[in-house]
Chains A and B, each alone.
Chain A
Amino acid sequence: MKFAIQINEGPYQHQAADSAYLFTKAALEKGHEIFRVFFYHDGVGNSTRLTTPPQDDRHIVNRWAALAEQYNLDLVVCVAAAQRRGMVDDGEAERNRKDATNIHPKFRISGLGQLIEAAVQSDRLMVFGD
């Protein structure tokens, strides 16, 4: 079965980002397909490569990146939500003349249409939020 995952909250503040990860991992291990993981609202914060949690805590960003590496996941960060919250990749930095980037290379920035497309193409849409 094909799942689309929508994440509405950032890392650490809300458990939503953890629940989404553990659900996604369990689905993949069960042999399901994850069509796309879409980060929206403060959820875009899950994609910053600059995250530095204490050593005894989970690294939420790297955890997604590792899962993406293992299963070739499509991790999409909403561009409009990202721009509002200062989440920038190379392309966005150039377009908006920013002097830095912070998005992890395993994530990509794209439009809201990617969420709609995921909902159309998948058998289930799972929303994790607060």
Chain B
Amino acid sequence: MSVTKKFMYLNRRPPYGTIYAWESLEVVLIGAAFEQDVSLAFLDDGVYQIIKGQDTSGIDMKNFSPTYSALGDYEVTKLYVERESLEERGLTVDDLMPLTWEDEAEDWAEKDSIQLISRAELAKLMDEQDVLFSF
């Protein structure tokens, strides 16, 4: 498959209440092997997926939040978080897990994967994609 497409995964659901967030992350991990131009968008309740300090020990479910930290190793480095969605939920970027990737082109310099963008900027990014996944 030689075509490279711009893939965006839309994350709009919170974790644990339903399995959508976890199973969509599984798609992202598998999809990374296909070498497409991948980005993830966190908007609406999706921003709750990457809140730091998640502890599922009391609900007998797997805490899958550490998996987001591994995305950089899969060369998934563009995580767009919508500012308005954070604000509507009383959150700031400091409430999110620090997610980073290492840039081989710059001697493995550590860079932030999370890019805080406005709703209007996200709308524009969506327009630029080839495929948008929803789960």
Contact = CB atoms under 8 A, between A and B. Distances in A.
Q: Is there a direct interface between A and B, measured as CB atoms under 8 Å apart in the complex? A: yes
Interface string A22-56: 00000000000000000011000000000000000
B21 to A, nearest CB: 11
Contact of A112 (B3, B31, B132): B31
A75 interface: no
Interface residues of B, number: 19
B69 interface: no
Contact of B135 (A41, A113, A116, A117): A41
Given A125-B133, A127-B134, A129-B135, A116 B30 contact: yes
A127 B133 contact: yes
- The secondary structure that dominates the A interface is helix
B3 A120 contact: yes
A112 B26 contact: yes
Interface of B: 1, 3, 5, 7, 19-20, 23, 26-27, 30-31, 33-34, 36, 131-135
